[in-house]
């Protein structure tokens, strides 16, 4: 009976040790991809859980030069959009993920199908005991090189007569 308990104890420790071991980098990448896809899906269905996935000190940088939002300010700004059935719909189709050796900090870049056309984004995620939280996300519209001159001209036309804010 004692040998049976020892064997049972050994396998229990082995099982519990594996249960609490750190995820492999590939598993962490898979879990993060799912988390990011859910985050984008929250916006596509106007679920306020979208903002819960951003760290309280997290920053979202949008496509306009004025858009640098800390999470709670971003939530206030986005409120009218989240009253609609779809706030915005981004679907990632190309994503790259890397991380620190201890997997506590993860960074990624992704290409997205959006209502603005193809966009690119990059982000930084913190892995905590509670899960992932986005600490930085930057979105940009992907401008083909052949269209750069036309886009620059359009931006200059819009900006004509506007003064840029002084640097602080």
Q: Which residue has the higher pLDDT, 30 or 12?
A: 30
Q: Do the Cβ atoms of 59 and 137 come closer than 8 Å? A: yes
Q: Which residue has the higher pLDDT, 132 or 153?
A: 132
Residue 10 has pLDDT above 80, yes or no: no
For 109-123, write each residue's pLDDT tens digit: 999 999 999 999 999
Q: Which residue has the higher pLDDT, 121 or 7?
A: 121
Among 35, 23, 36, residue whose Cα is nearest residue 104: 23
For 142-166, write each residue's pLDDT tens digit: 999 999 999 999 889 888 867 666 6
Among 118, 112, 113, 115, residue whose Cα is nearest residue 137: 112
For 63-111, write each residue's pLDDT tens digit: 999 999 999 999 999 999 999 999 999 999 999 999 999 999 999 999 9
pTM: predicted TM-score of the whole model, two decimal places:
0.81
CA distance 131 to 71: 17
Q: Do the Cβ atoms of 103 and 132 come closer than 8 Å? A: no
pLDDT of res. 46: 98
Residue 8 has pLDDT above 90, yes or no: no
């Amino acid at each position: 009976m004692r040998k049976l308990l020892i064997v049972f104890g050994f396998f229990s420790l082995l099982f519990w040790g594996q249960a609490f071991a750190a995820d492999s980098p590939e598993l962490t990448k898979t879990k993060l991809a799912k988390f990011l896809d859910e985050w984008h899906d929250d916006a596509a269905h106007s679920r306020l859980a979208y903002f819960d996935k951003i760290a309280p000190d997290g920053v979202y940088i949008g496509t306009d030069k004025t858009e640098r939002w800390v999470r709670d300010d971003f939530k206030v700004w986005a409120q009218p959009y989240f009253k609609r059935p779809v706030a915005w719909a981004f679907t990632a189709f190309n994503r790259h993920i890397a991380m620190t050796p201890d997997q506590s900090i993860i960074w990624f870049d992704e290409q997205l199908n959006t209502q603005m056309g193809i966009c690119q984004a990059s982000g930084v995620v913190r892995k905590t005991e509670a899960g992932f939280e986005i600490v930085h996300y930057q979105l940009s519209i992907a401008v083909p090189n052949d269209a750069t001159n036309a886009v620059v001209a359009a931006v200059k036309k819009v900006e004509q007569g506007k003064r840029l804010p002084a640097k602080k």
